[in-house]
Structure 1
C-alpha cells in the first residue's frame, strides 16, 4: 500500500483493521487445552498469554504501516513515542483471567487519544463477534445479529440501578468501602465482566460501572464508547479518568451525580 493510500484510510478504518487482526490472532488460542499463562505480578496473579502478546504485536505492526507518526501505548510492550500529538492505546486482551477461564467477557480495547483524552474507542469481543464503537460521530454495536445504535439508559434512579465491577475486592480497603457504600444503594450489583461491563453500559443494559486501580489502556476505549453513547465517565472526584485509577462510569449525568456524591467522600489514601 502506498503512502497516499495509507493516508486515505480513516482513523475508524484503522481501528477496525487493528481489531480484525487481533481477532485473527487471539481466537485460535481461546478455550484450547494446554494454553499457558505467565504471571506478571510477584505479589499476586496478573496473567499474560501468547495471545496477548501476539495480538498487540499484530496491531503495532499495522500502526507502523498505517499511522507511522502516531504514538502507541500498549499493555504488553509499553510506550512508543510519536510526533503527531496522537496516541493509540491498546489492551490486546482486557480480562486475561476470564480468557484463560473460558468466559466470553474479555475483549480487545483500542483507543485513539490526543492531548485531551480519547477521541475514538473500540471494544471488541472476538468470540461473540460483537464490536462496540464510539467517537468521531459513531456510537454503534455490530455483531452476528446485526447492528444497533448505542444509547445509554436514562431516567433510572440510583435505587433502581444495576452496578457492575470486575472484582468484589475493587481495590484497597478504603476504595472497597466507597464502592460498597454505592452498592448498598442500588438494586443489583454484579461482578466479573471486565471490559464487557462498559460495553453493556453503552448498550443501555446496565447503569453503573465502578472500579479502581485501572491503567490508561484499561479505560480509554470504554470512555470513548460510553461518552459517544450518552454516558459519563470520570474519576471518583469528578475529574478526568483517561489516565486510569479510580473510575466511575454512569449511564447519564443525573445518575453519575448521585453515585459521585458517595464516592467523592472516599479518602485519597
Structure 2
C-alpha cells in the first residue's frame, strides 16, 4: 500500500504539470476515429513503472501505454496513467490515475486518484477511505435505494454496441437520474455514497481493476453484465448494494 501511494504521488507530479497547460499536444492512437494520448499519460506511467522497478521488481505490470511486463510474484500492478484523457484535454477535473493490484483471482486493492481536486479514493486490504486535503473519511456505498430512486452514471451516452446500448436503456429508463461523462470518477462517487449505479461497456482491464477494488471495499458490488468477473474488461456494472445490482442486472439481460 505504501508503494501504491508513492505511485499515485509520482503520477500527480507528471499529470498536474501538464493539466490545463497550453503545452498539451495530444496524439491520436487510433487508426480510425480518435483515441487520444498525451505526454502526461506517458510520463505518468513511466514514473510509476520506475518506482515499481525499484520497489517491486518481481511483480508484473499491465499498463495502458507501455503494455505488459511479466513478473514472478503472482501479483500484477494494473495502471491507467490517465483514465479520461478526453476530459484531461478539455480541462475537466473528472479524469483520474488508476492503480490496481491484482492476484490470480482479480483485483485486491486499488487507488482512484484525482490530483487536481486532491482526492484519493483507496480500497482493499482492509481499507476503504477517501484522503483529501490532509483529512481522511471512510468510504461507504449508499444502501436501501431501489432503481426508481437511483442515480445512474456512464461515460458515453451510446454505451458500447447497439445491443449493449439497448440493454443500458432498459435500466436508464427506470432510474431517477442518469448522468454522463465522468470516466473513473463515477466509480469514486459510487464508493463515496453519492451515486448508486455505474454501467459501462467497451472497457479494458486497466480501466476497471482499481475501480472494482475501491467499490467492493466500500461495500458495493462490481461484476460484468452477466454477473461474473469483470476485471478482464468488456462490460461492468457497479452498484451500491446487492439488491440494486440484482434489479439492474435483470434488466440488462432482458428479464
TM-score, structure 2 as length reference: 0.99
Q: How many aligned residue pairs are there?
A: 255
Pairwise CA distance, 1:161:
0.2
**Structure 2 residue 83 is matched with structure 1 residue 94:** yes
Cα deviation digits, residues 48-86 of structure 1 (max 9, x gap): 000000000000010000000000000000000001111
Counterpart for residue 28 of structure 1 = 17
Counterpart for residue 62 of structure 1 = 51
**Structure 2 residue 187 is matched with structure 1 residue 198:** yes
Counterpart for residue 163 of structure 1 = 152
Counterpart for residue 101 of structure 2 = 112
Counterpart for residue 7 of structure 1 = none
State how far apart, in whole Å, the 2-side matches of 1:118 and 1:94 are: 17
Counterpart for residue 142 of structure 1 = 131
Q: Which runs of 4+ in 1 moved over 6 A?
A: none
CA distance 1:17–1:145, change in 2 (3 Å): closer
State how far apart, in whole Å, the 2-side matches of 1:264 and 1:139 are: 31
State how far apart, in whole Å, the 1-side matches of 2:67 and 2:251 are: 34
Cα deviation digits, residues 205-262 of structure 1 (max 9, x gap): 0100000000000000000000000000000000000001011000010000000001
Pairwise CA distance, 1:35:
1.1
State how far apart, in whole Å, the 1-side matches of 2:203 and 2:31 are: 18
2:216 to 227, 231, 237: 227
Counterpart for residue 68 of structure 2 = 79
State how far apart, in whole Å, the 2-side matches of 1:176 and 1:264 are: 12
Counterpart for residue 5 of structure 1 = none
Counterpart for residue 202 of structure 2 = 213
Pairwise CA distance, 1:146:
2.2
Counterpart for residue 122 of structure 1 = 111
Counterpart for residue 176 of structure 2 = 187
State how far apart, in whole Å, the 2-side matches of 1:147 and 1:125 are: 15
Pairwise CA distance, 1:131:
0.1
Q: Which runs of 5+ in 1 are unaligned?
A: 1-11
2:247 to 229, 236, 258: 258
Pairwise CA distance, 1:33:
1.2
TM-score, structure 1 as length reference: 0.94
2:30 to 41, 48, 54: 41
SS in 2 for 1:31: coil
State how far apart, in whole Å, the 2-side matches of 1:60 and 1:137 are: 25
State how far apart, in whole Å, the 2-side matches of 1:54 and 1:207 are: 34
Counterpart for residue 243 of structure 1 = 232
Pairwise CA distance, 1:20:
0.1
Q: Which runs of 5+ in 2 are unaligned?
A: none
Pairwise CA distance, 1:145:
6.7
Pairwise CA distance, 1:139:
0.1
